[in-house]
Amino acid sequence: MKKLPWGMIGGGTGAFIGGAHRVAARITNQYQLMGGVFDVDFERAKEFARDEGIPLNRVYPNIDEFIEGELALPAEERIQVVSIVTPNFLHYEHARKLMENDFHVICEKPVTITSAEAIDLQEISLRKERVFCITHTYTGYPMVREMKRRIEAGAIGELQRVEAHYLQGWINPIIHGGGGKMATWRLDPKVSGISSCMADIGVHAFNLIEYTTGLEVKQVLGVLNKLTPDNPLDLDGNVLLKFSENMTGVIRASQIATGEENNLQINIYGSLGGFHWEQENPNELKMLHEGASYEIIKPGYEFLSDFARESHVLPPGHPEGIYESFGNLYKGAAMAIKNEPTVPGQFPGIEDGVRGMRFIESVVQSDKEGSSWIAL
Ligand SMILES: NC(=O)c1ccc[n+]([C@@H]2O[C@H](COP(=O)([O-])OP(=O)(O)OC[C@H]3O[C@@H](n4cnc5c(N)ncnc54)[C@H](O)[C@@H]3O)[C@@H](O)[C@H]2O)c1
C-alpha cells in the first residue's frame, strides 16, 4: 500500500520525543518522511535533513513557508499528514494552520495551552474533515487495550474506584539548583502553559483513566505543590475525582518524586474484581478476582480481544514496548486517513484533547480556590 507523505514540525536533532515518533511511523511502514520544520533553528533543521536523506527543498524555516511550499506542489507529491512535536504553546497555531490548509494532524499532548484553543481545533477538524490524533502514548499498549475491552464487557462488574499515579523525579535536581530553573521549558509558563506537572504527566493519567474505564470525570479537587515560592508552576499534585455518587478516584502526579523514573500505574476496581497495570512493566496486566488469586494476562495470545491481539505483532514472550505502543497510534491514524474502518479507542482524538485541557484548567482553578470541587 502506498505510504502517506508525512511531515514533522519540531523533532530535529537533540529533541526528546520526535525520534520516538519517527520509530513509531517506521514500525507501521505506512508513512514516508518527506519534509518539515524540524527545528526552531533553520540551519540545524537543514543539517538534520541531510542526515535523514530528506531533500533540502522540503525543509522550511517556519509553518507559513511550509504550507506555502507544500501547497505549491502537485497534490500527489504533497505532504498529507504532519506530526507536531514542538513545545506546548506552539501546538495550537501549528495545528490550526495545518488543518485550515487541509493537512491531517498528529499532535503531542497537552494539545494546546487553553481549553478554548482545543475547542477551536475540534471545530476545525470537524469542519475540514481532518484526522486529528493526539499521542497519549500509553493508550497504544496491548494490555491497556485488553483492560479497556474487558471493562466494556463487564469483566469486573460495576466500576466503583480508580487510582492512577504518574511519578517522575527528573525536575528535582533542576529545582534544587542543578542547571537553573529554566533548564527545562516545562517550568516556563509562556512555553508550557498554566501547569507543569499536571499538563505534562497528570494529563496522561487522566486520559488513561477515561480511556480504560469509558467514563467521564465529572468533578475534580486539586492540591498542587510548586515547592519554592519563586517557581511559577506546579511540580506535584494530588487530585480527587468524582464520576458519580458511587464512583470516585484519585490521580497523584509528581516531577519531584526523587528517584522515580516513569512510574505510571493505574488500578481500577469494580464490583467483581479489578485491574493493575504499570507502564514500567507493560506486558503484564494483573486481573484481580474477589475471593480468588489474581491472574497475570500477557500479550500475543489467541484468547485476547481482537484489539489487543492486533496491537502486538510478535508471538508471546517477545516483549514489545513504548515504540510499538506509539506505533499503534500511528497505525490507527493512518487507517483513519485512508478511510479504513477503525474501532472505538483506536487512537485518542481531539475530543480527548478538549477533555485533557479541561482537566488541567480545572485542577489549577481548584487549587487556586483553596481546593474546591470544580466541574469539568
Ligand atoms: N507523548 C509523550 O509521552 C510525550 C513525551 C515527551 C514529550 N511530549 C510532548 O512533546 C512535545 C515536545 O516535547 P520534547 O520534550 O520533545 O521537547 P524538546 O524541547 O526536546 O523538542 C522540541 C523541538 O521543537 C523544536 N521547535 C521549537 N520551536 C519550534 C518552532 N517554532 N518551529 C519548529 N520547531 C520548533 C525544537 O527545535 C525541538 O526540535 C511537548 O508538547 C511535550 O509535552 C510527549
Q: Residue 330's CB: how many other CB atoms inside 10 A?
A: 27
Residue that terminates a domain, selected from 74, 102, 137: 137
- Structure pTM? 0.97
| Whether residue 60 sits in one domain with residue 80 | yes
| Whether residue 34 sits in one domain with residue 62 | yes
Cβ atoms of 234 and 251 closer than 8 Å = no
Q: Which three cell numbers stand for residue 112?
A: 494546546
Residue 230's pLDDT is: 87
Per-residue pLDDT for the chain (376 aa), expressed as one digit of tens each? 589 999 999 999 999 999 999 999 999 999 999 999 999 999 999 999 999 999 999 999 999 999 999 999 999 999 999 999 999 999 999 999 999 999 999 999 999 999 999 999 999 999 999 999 999 999 999 999 999 999 999 999 999 999 999 999 999 999 988 655 556 899 999 999 999 999 999 999 999 999 999 999 999 999 999 999 889 999 999 999 999 999 999 999 999 999 999 999 999 999 999 999 999 999 999 999 999 999 999 999 999 999 999 999 999 999 999 999 999 999 999 999 999 999 999 999 999 999 999 999 999 999 999 999 999 9
Q: Which three cell numbers stand for residue 206?
A: 487522566
Residue 208 CA to ligand 1 center (angstroms) comes to 21
Q: Which residues pair with 287 in a beta bridge?
A: 275, 295
Residue 15 CA to ligand 1 center (angstroms) comes to 6
Asked if residue 319 belongs to a domain, the reply is no
**Count of domains for the chain:** 2
- Single-letter residue type at 178: G
| Whether residue 254 sits in one domain with residue 153 | yes
| Whether residue 185 sits in one domain with residue 147 | yes
Asked if residue 40 belongs to a domain, the reply is yes
The Cα 82–Cα 53 span in angstroms is 18
| Whether residue 187 sits in one domain with residue 106 | no
Residue that terminates a domain, selected from 108, 137, 166: 137
Which atom of ligand 1 lies nearest, measured to the CA of 39?
A: 37
Phi and psi at residue 304, in whole multiples of 5°? -75, 165
Asked if residue 339 belongs to a domain, the reply is no
Which residue is closest in CA terms to ligand 1's atom 37? 39
- List the CATH number of the domain containing 238: 3.30.360.10
| Whether residue 203 sits in one domain with residue 112 | no
Which residue is closest in CA terms to ligand 1's atom 27? 40
| Whether residue 276 sits in one domain with residue 185 | yes
Cβ atoms of 39 and 49 closer than 8 Å = no
Residue 103's pLDDT is: 98
Which atom of ligand 1 lies nearest, measured to the CA of 12?
A: 39
Which atom of ligand 1 lies nearest, measured to the CA of 18?
A: 16
Residue 117's pLDDT is: 98
Cβ atoms of 228 and 370 closer than 8 Å = no
Which residues have CB under 6 Å of ligand 1? 9-12, 15-18, 37, 39-40, 85-88, 90, 108-109, 135, 137, 200
| Whether residue 24 sits in one domain with residue 159 | no
Residue that terminates a domain, selected from 80, 105, 137: 137
Which residue is closest in CA terms to ligand 1's atom 15? 16
Residue 84 CA to ligand 1 center (angstroms) comes to 8
Which residue is closest in CA terms to ligand 1's atom 18? 15
Asked if residue 24 belongs to a domain, the reply is yes
| Whether residue 111 sits in one domain with residue 94 | yes
| Whether residue 149 sits in one domain with residue 92 | no
| Whether residue 110 sits in one domain with residue 54 | yes
Domain of 175, in residue numbers = 141-313+348-368
| Whether residue 244 sits in one domain with residue 152 | yes
Distances (CA, A) of 52 to 38, 86, 313: 11, 19, 27
